[in-house]
């Protein structure tokens, strides 16, 4: 029987790259997003062609009732969850200097990027513990997709950086808590990835890349992140809980 993965924000961008890699690896999928069902039909068809079962569950992960609905949909369709990929996230609507960040923007970004994933970790962890107690051979993991912004300060989007730093600690907390159940928790930190989120700053980063911002002189792509997540989800890193995988083309390497 195929293992089951839940990927939040899985209908486009990095999330879709992850979903494709997991589907190619034989996982059945539930992908979550905020867009209406009829807008993701072509995406679902694309994933179906990879030979996997795919369900879409619309919902806002910052809302408790929507999180409950998402987890319930996985239970109803597949009756099991082996991998949670917390990928959904948003950038600030307006990039503002930290001296001008509004509480409205801070609350929005933190609710979606940190509160939602934290409590999805909690829900998935409790369910995985139940599955492990029922079946000692059960293997599962949680993979949190954060950003290099967890460790690299960008003063024009402080709320985003703080949310990703919070995801880094969330990973460590759940890694420690789930250690006794042999359920690893990982963090993936993408760098500059070509998605609709970065389209508005493409010219800026094109120039930075041309001037040597990264060691590997190119944009990253969703499939780069997808391959890393699929490798972690495969179970080959069972004894590496709490570890961070950088997918940043060497952006954060120290250089002279």
Q: What is the CATH number of the domain that holds 65?
A: 3.40.50.720
pLDDT at site 54: 97
pLDDT at site 37: 94
Strand 141-145 relative to strand 4-8, pairing: unpaired
> Is 254 within a domain?
no
Q: How are strands ordered across the β-sheet holding 4-8?
A: 54-58, 28-33, 4-8, 83-86, 141-145, 185-190, 244-247
End-to-end alpha carbon distance in the chain: 50
pLDDT at site 90: 96
pLDDT at site 1: 78
In the block, tokens 């319930």 appear at 72
CA dist 55 and 53 (Å) reads 7
Question: pTM of the prediction?
Answer: 0.97
> Is 17 within a domain?
yes
Name the 3-class secondary structure at 240. Answer: coil
Token pair for 190 = 């993408």
> Is 175 within a domain?
yes
Question: Would you give the DSSP letter of residue 102?
Answer: -
Token pair for 13 = 């961008």
Please classify residue 55 by burial: count the beta carbons closer than 10 Å to its beta carbon, then call 0-12 exposed, 13-18 middle and 19+ buried.
middle
pLDDT at site 201: 86
CA dist 116 and 146 (Å) reads 13
> Is 106 within a domain?
yes
Residues with a catalytic annotation lie at: 160
Q: Where are the alpha helices (DSSP H) in the chain?
A: 13-24, 41-48, 64-78, 103-110, 116-134, 158-178, 202-210, 222-233
Domain of residue 70: give its range: 4-247
Tens digit of pLDDT at every position of the chain (256 positions):
799 999 999 999 999 999 999 999 999 999 999 999 999 999 999 999 999 999 999 999 999 999 999 999 999 999 999 999 999 999 999 999 999 999 999 999 999 999 999 999 999 999 999 999 999 999 999 999 999 999 999 999 999 999 999 999 999 999 999 999 999 999 999 999 999 888 888 999 999 999 999 999 999 999 999 999 999 999 999 999 999 999 999 999 999 8
Query: How many domains does the chain fold into?
Result: 1
């Amino acid at each position: 029987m195929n293992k089951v993965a839940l990927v939040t924000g899985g209908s486009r961008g990095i999330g879709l790259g992850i979903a494709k890699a997991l589907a190619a690896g034989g996982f059945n999928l539930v992908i979550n997003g905020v867009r209406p069902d009829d807008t993701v039909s072509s995406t679902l068809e694309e994933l179906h062609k990879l030979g996997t079962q795919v369900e879409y569950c619309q919902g806002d992960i910052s809302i408790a009732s929507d999180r409950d609905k998402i987890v319930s949909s996985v239970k109803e369709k597949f009756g099991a969850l082996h991998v949670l990929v917390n990928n959904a996230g948003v950038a600030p609507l307006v990039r503002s200097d930290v001296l001008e960040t509004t509480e409205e923007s801070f609350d929005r970004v933190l609710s979606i990027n940190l509160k939602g994933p934290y409590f999805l970790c909690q829900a998935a962890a409790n369910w995985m513990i139940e599955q492990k107690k029922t079946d000692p051979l059960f293997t599962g993991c949680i993979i949190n997709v954060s950003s290099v912004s967890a460790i690299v300060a960008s003063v024009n989007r402080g709320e985003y950086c703080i949310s990703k730093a919070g995801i880094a600690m969330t990973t460590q907390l759940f890694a420690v808590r789930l250690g006794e159940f042999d359920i690893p928790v990982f963090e993936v930190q993408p760098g500059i990835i070509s998605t609709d989120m970065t389209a508005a700053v493409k010219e800026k980063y094109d120039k930075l890349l041309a001037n040597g911002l990264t060691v590997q002189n190119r944009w990253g792509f969703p499939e780069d992140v997808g391959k890393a997540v699929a490798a972690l989800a495969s179970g080959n890193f069972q004894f590496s809980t709490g570890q961070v995988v950088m997918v940043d083309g060497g952006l954060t390497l120290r250089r002279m």
